[in-house]
Structure 1
């Protein structure tokens, strides 16, 4: 019994030394974090939520989860514009729309419910005008949580903040696009 009482403090000290020398695994850019606005940037109510799987410069194969939120009107088209200094690339075949999905805790992102897949009629990438146009096969009803998932994204070569603007089109006589908000996407070095 005396040997066990002497051995326990030594094992505890050795365990603390080993644990302090091990690097911790962190998930990069899982949340937008704190955002400070000044000038002509979007207000707090216009900022849309997003999640990046990696969010590091030049990373090939990143996935962007861009939430549009609950819209009060039906949606028949989604248009996303991105800035000219964003030199990353997108893959039109890897863009999908989903309804619902988890309202996951922003700290624990281990399990993510991607929601129900929406069939798409067309996805158009216009690299000259820096826009992504997404047309669902059927109109998305009003009051539906919608998110755009872009897989196989190549992040820009350098870190920075990038404003991605979202506009939606509603069915009706006049095909006007309505601005609904901005994702302020932050790409940072690990």
Structure 2
């Protein structure tokens, strides 16, 4: 069994306010490409584990669910950091999260309590690291104010004691490469 933690920018950090934004398709393409590479190498169960944050995490769930019919060994889980995660979001975003939770193979909250303090987020990161074999992180150093920097820092620290834990990072330059590849494929299909 292999388990991949997918995390990264929120939709707001990327300046994407609608799922119909063409950049969402490029991000899903990048996620699917990476997953397909891993899935082609194994017949074992392969779990994608992510949180429920809008942006990369929710798009990862959608991208993974789209691959499931072709890869029966693929499973997806949403692990939220704490109970009632997203309950203060706009109704539309809450409904979107709820709809995704209904489609995944497993979902739970790491903390059984509603949000109380930042320690729950640190515990969440540690949980994700302890229960995955690698991470696919959408992050760029140019976005130094992004909250994703905390996940990256936690992963790098974890790697010091777990050298087999792999980090696959997609930065803005790599995302541009995916965008060009996606555009080429779209023009080939036309």
Question: Normalised by the size of structure 2, how large is the TM-score?
Answer: 0.25
Higher strand share goes to which structure?
Answer: 1
The one of the two structures with greater contact order (alpha-carbon pairs below 8 A, sep at least 6) is: 1
**Quick check: which one's helix share is greater?**
2
Higher gyration radius (CA): 1
